[in-house]
């Protein structure tokens, strides 16, 4: 069903066509994942299609994704679910027109995130984002958020720390990418919701460049995703530890 978040995602993806003078760069990709040993789900085995868009614009940057999750095997009558996030940031350096940072910190931003899915999971996050220049990292960002749950039954109010990163390793005429994120809810306001730690890195090989040449670089990737989630969904003692095989294409 089309909802307000999907409308926002469509508008973000359409920005290059709507306002070329505002957009500095943008990317849109689709990823297929398959894995098992998922906890607190109708089925341990899952197939996920993820649509992502990211980019930089005149006053900041954005990242948004939408997961379509399909349950494989004994699913208790539930076949699929959805989950997504929209994360715009407003850069002090871009807005002020001059560098804002010190040492390894290259920029400071107002960081926002809206989480939405089926069930009591809607939340609004707001805080401070820092960009770092660190050797061997293509990028490294650290966002510190205040979490406000905005759906009935959602107890996830608190504080969250979210690093996101990427590293590139040239291999012949191709490339290996190591990237991912951590969502660490290090302080929770409500009893019944535990602090939790979610580490979700991917290791991907640029298969398009290896097979089709340099003109297809950064297009087709294959690899694995690791998912470790201590106290998943804030449930004490539920520690998810699983791998998925992935294929990703950038349009």
**What is the Cα–Cα distance from 202 to 75, expressed in whole angstroms?**
26
Q: Indicate whether 9 belongs to any domain.
A: no
> CB neighbours of 106 closer than 8 A, spacing ≥ 6?
93, 99, 131, 132, 133
The better pLDDT of the pair 215, 82 is held by 82
pLDDT value, residue 42: 87
Q: Indicate whether 6 belongs to any domain.
A: no
For the chain, what percent of residues have pLDDT higher than 70? 90
Nearest C-alpha neighbor of 134 from the set 174, 157, 112, 163: 163
Residues in the chain: 251
pLDDT value, residue 18: 52
Contact in structure between 58 and 94 (CB atoms under 8 Å): yes
Q: Indicate whether 15 belongs to any domain.
A: no
Q: Indicate whether 11 belongs to any domain.
A: no
Q: Indicate whether 13 belongs to any domain.
A: no
Total-model pTM: 0.89
- Give the pLDDT band of residue 124 (cuts 50, 70, 90): very high
pLDDT value, residue 12: 53
pLDDT at 172 over 70: yes
Q: Indicate whether 2 belongs to any domain.
A: no
Q: Indicate whether 4 belongs to any domain.
A: no
Q: How many CB atoms are closer than 10 A to CB 30?
A: 13
**What is the Cα–Cα distance from 124 to 145, expressed in whole angstroms?**
9
**What is the Cα–Cα distance from 224 to 29, expressed in whole angstroms?**
16
CATH of the domain at 121: 2.40.230.20
Domain that holds residue 225: 23-250
- Give the pLDDT band of residue 2 (cuts 50, 70, 90): very low
pLDDT at 24 over 70: yes
How much is the average pLDDT of 100-107? 94
Q: How many domains does the chain have?
A: 1
Q: Indicate whether 12 belongs to any domain.
A: no
Contact in structure between 147 and 123 (CB atoms under 8 Å): yes
The 10s digit of each residue's pLDDT in 205-218 is 999 999 988 888 98
């Amino acid at each position: 069903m089309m909802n307000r978040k999907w409308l926002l995602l469509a508008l973000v993806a359409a920005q290059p066509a709507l306002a070329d003078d505002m957009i500095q760069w943008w990317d849109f990709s689709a990823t297929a994942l398959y894995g098992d040993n998922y906890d607190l789900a109708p089925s341990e085995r899952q197939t996920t299609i993820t649509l992502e868009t990211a980019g930089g614009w005149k006053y900041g940057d954005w990242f948004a994704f939408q997961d379509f999750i399909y349950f494989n095997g004994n699913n208790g009558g539930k076949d699929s679910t959805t989950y997504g996030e929209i994360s715009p940031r407003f850069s002090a350096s871009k807005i002020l027109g001059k560098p804002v940072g010190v040492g390894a910190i290259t920029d400071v931003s107002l960081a926002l995130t809206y989480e939405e899915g089926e069930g009591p999971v809607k939340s609004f996050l707001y805080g401070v984002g820092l960009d770092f220049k660190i050797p061997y990292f293509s990028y490294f960002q650290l966002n510190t958020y205040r979490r406000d749950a905005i759906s009935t039954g959602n107890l996830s109010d608190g504080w969250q720390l979210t690093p996101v990163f990427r590293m590139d390793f040239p291999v012949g005429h191709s490339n290996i990418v190591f990237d991912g994120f951590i969502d660490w809810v290090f302080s929770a306001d409500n009893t019944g919701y535990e602090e939790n730690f979610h580490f979700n890195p991917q290791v991907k090989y640029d298969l398009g460049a290896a097979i089709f040449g340099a003109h297809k670089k950064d297009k087709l990737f294959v690899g694995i995703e690791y998912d470790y989630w201590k106290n998943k969904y804030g449930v004490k003692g539920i520690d998810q530890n699983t791998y998925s095989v992935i294929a990703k294409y950038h349009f």
